[in-house]
Amino acid sequence: MPIRNPVLRWLLGLPPLIPESSEGGDWRVTAVVPAYNEEDCIGETVISLKRQTVPLARIVVVDDCSTDRTGALARDAGATVVRTPRNTGKKVTAQAFGLAQVSTPYVLFVDADTVLAPNALECLLRWMRLPRTGAVCAMVLPHRTKTVWEKVRLLDYLVGTTVFKRAQNHIGAVVVASGCCALFRRAALESIGGLPNTGSFAEDMDATWRVSQQGWRVWFEPRARCWVRDPDTWRLYERQMDRWYRGFLQSLWMQKYALGGHVRLLAVVVWMAVEQTLAPLAFLAGLALFPVQTGYALAAYLLLEVGFVGVVSLVQGVRLGMLRCVIKALPALPLLRAANFYLWYRALWRELRGKRLTQWHKGH
């Protein structure tokens, strides 16, 4: 007898149940991979797509005027390569160029530095049995965990997917169908005018919100796994987080009125912004008001933080067969929190000052 209570399933780390559906029809999928100077990884990405247990109808690599051998290596690996007339400078523009080549009912967007598990598409496609499913995203894991910043990202992924994204899944308010690996129903994309270049540098989040506002359901599928190349230095990490945070703020500002049509998604988005902004300020204010208890407060905070993140990460580490990597990454937890709070406040300050982000930086 399956467990049907959504809260209980979330607490147990189980995904929502997929109701039976009699929807039949065309299940063909086209993969679209935007790429710019990705010769080091594009071949591995295309090969992982060709090894899917559900064969893809077509793999389209959009070569955004690379200056290296990206296009040639993708073609050698078995992909169809299309080249933009000029470098677009943004991933969403390259994706839109590739989307114009798609005629299948479903499109799988995959980053050029992402390797998929062989059953990833199969797991994602199950959710399309539900007629109102607009998009499904995979569980993202780091390709390497050698440097401190890759370890930081591992903890971020494990806590984010285990606690927050699973909760969003159960209440029907997934904030972002990660561009690393996300399956979209083409009809859902057509309902928002394709992939419009709205100016947000969080193109996957922007598309997720717009699809949700049209009444489509967005899901997170933790059994579909993919591995990405994450920043291995502070400079790369800082650039990527700046783009993510400012893209989030840009999307929130541009869709502040439209989000009112999806109350649960609006609530989650507002909570994320408020919590990220006020949590460290509240902690620092408490230290200032009660200086005598500073030591106890710091000890209590560290105990709760390390305890919560540690337990969640260790459990996930066991499930994913990454326990040793998680244990090595846990000492980087204070760095994760400090770096992310600093980068959030800096991004917020830059956006409030009107200092626009104009260049799309890769994360590796």
165: DSSP letter: I
Tell me the mean pLDDT in the region 139-155: 92
Domains and CATH numbers, the chain: 23-112 (3.90.550.10), 116-190+216-364 (no CATH)
| Residue 132's pLDDT band (cuts 50, 70, 90) | very high
Instruction: Check residues 181 and 295 and name the one with the higher pLDDT.
Output: 181
Phi-psi region of 209 (alpha: psi -120 to 50; beta: other; left: phi over 0): alpha
Tell me the mean pLDDT in the region 33-57: 96
DSSP string across 74-124: HHHHT-EEEE-SS--SSHHHHHHHHHTT--SSEEEEE-TTEEE-TTHHHHH
Tell me the mean pLDDT in the region 160-187: 90
Mean pLDDT of the chain: 86
d(CA 66, CA 88): 11
CA of residue 310 relative to chain centroid, distance: 22
Residue 337 CB neighbours (<10 A): 17
Instruction: Check residues 146 and 364 and name the one with the higher pLDDT.
Output: 146
Task: Check if the beta carbon of residue 163 is closer than 8 Å to that of residue 312.
Answer: yes
What pLDDT shows up at residue 22?
Answer: 47
Q: Is residue 220 helix, strand or coil? A: strand
Read off the pLDDT of residues 339-356 as tens digits, 9 standing for 90 and up: 999 999 999 999 988 877
Burial group, residue 250, by CB count within 10 angstroms (0-12, 13-18, 19+) = buried
CA dist list (Å): 348 to 160, 247, 344: 21, 11, 6
Full-model pTM: 0.89
Record the tokens describing residue 250, joined without a space: 């840009």
| Residue 78's pLDDT band (cuts 50, 70, 90) | very high
CA dist list (Å): 147 to 7, 142, 144, 151, 326: 36, 11, 8, 6, 13
Give 29's strand partners.
106
d(CA 252, CA 177): 16
Provide the percentage of residues in the chain whose pLDDT is more than 70: 85
Read off the pLDDT of residues 241-267 as tens digits, 9 standing for 90 and up: 999 999 899 888 888 777 878 889 999
Read off the pLDDT of residues 226-244 as tens digits, 9 standing for 90 and up: 999 999 999 999 999 999 9
Find tokens 């982000």 and name the residue.
357
Record the tokens describing residue 182, joined without a space: 């996300």
d(CA 321, CA 344): 32
Tell me the mean pLDDT in the region 51-66: 95
d(CA 26, CA 328): 46
Tell me the mean pLDDT in the region 316-329: 89
| Residue 19's pLDDT band (cuts 50, 70, 90) | low
For residue 13, is pLDDT > 80? no
CA of residue 29 relative to chain centroid, distance: 20
Read off the pLDDT of residues 267-281 as tens digits, 9 standing for 90 and up: 999 999 998 898 777
261: DSSP letter: G
193: DSSP letter: T
258: DSSP letter: G
236 Cβ contact partners less than 8 Å away, ≥ 6 residues apart: 149, 361, 363, 364
